[in-house]
Chain A
Amino acid sequence: MLAVGDSTRLEIIYSTGRSKSRRSKSPQIETNEGPPKHRLRIFAHGVERPDSTYPIVVSPYKLDLSQFTEKLVEKKKFEITNMSDQKLELKLVDLASRYLEVKLPKSIKPGKTAEGEIKIREYYLDESFEKSFTIELNDEKSTRFTVPVKRTVRNLQAKGTSEAGGK
């Protein structure tokens, strides 16, 4: 229920599966306004070989910030290589900003590699999640790349307590 003037967020999670073409999905929202239903539209182009994309290659193309030991995993660096012959400017167009902070290079010269960094916000360090961020380039097609971000946290403290209790 949303009071007059209020807003809410609706997170849509899209699983690419083995798709290797541009596909769209149209989730529908039914409200007490009556018909017609509201329609959202998402597009995604599944890539079979993400290590050889054009005009940029993001490496690693999936970011895993999982934590299985007591050593804190809160940030990770990644590389973006400009495979084209023109200078590319990068813009962060979408990010799960409640969970993550992302630093991107502003631009990358042709053939060069630049570094980016992702950091989990402190409040969400104890959570497991799957989010993503989307980069848009200033090439003719305004090409976009979305990088999946995954974090799994093993509850070491609980495990330790259980083992101690069993002895």
Chain B
Amino acid sequence: MRVIRGIFAIVTTVILLTGGVQAAPRMTISDSLFDFGYVPQNAKVAHVFWLHSTGDDTLKIIKVNPG
């Protein structure tokens, strides 16, 4: 019985260390909403959003769609 428990523990540990915990990219945005308020017509205004790579693998920004 002890042997079976030991094997089970080893197998569980191996699964957790390999397949179970896979490195993954993750992006977080500090503040994803911005309100310009009143803006004159026919004008261009700009705001900077900060994107952070908070996962455990390299983050690739593939495309930004203006919406």
Contact = CB atoms under 8 A, between A and B. Distances in A.
Interface in A12-33: 12-20, 25-33
B30 to A, nearest CB: 9
Contacts, number: 196
Interface residues of A, number: 58
Contacts of A145: 37-39
Contact of A42 (B43, B47, B58): B47
Contact of B51 (A2, A13, A150): A2
18 contacts: A3-B53, A3-B58, A4-B57, A5-B53, A8-B51, A10-B49, A28-B67, A29-B51, A30-B65, A41-B33, A45-B39, A47-B39, A47-B41, A134-B37, A143-B37, A144-B35, A148-B39, A148-B44
Interface of B: 24-27, 29, 32-67
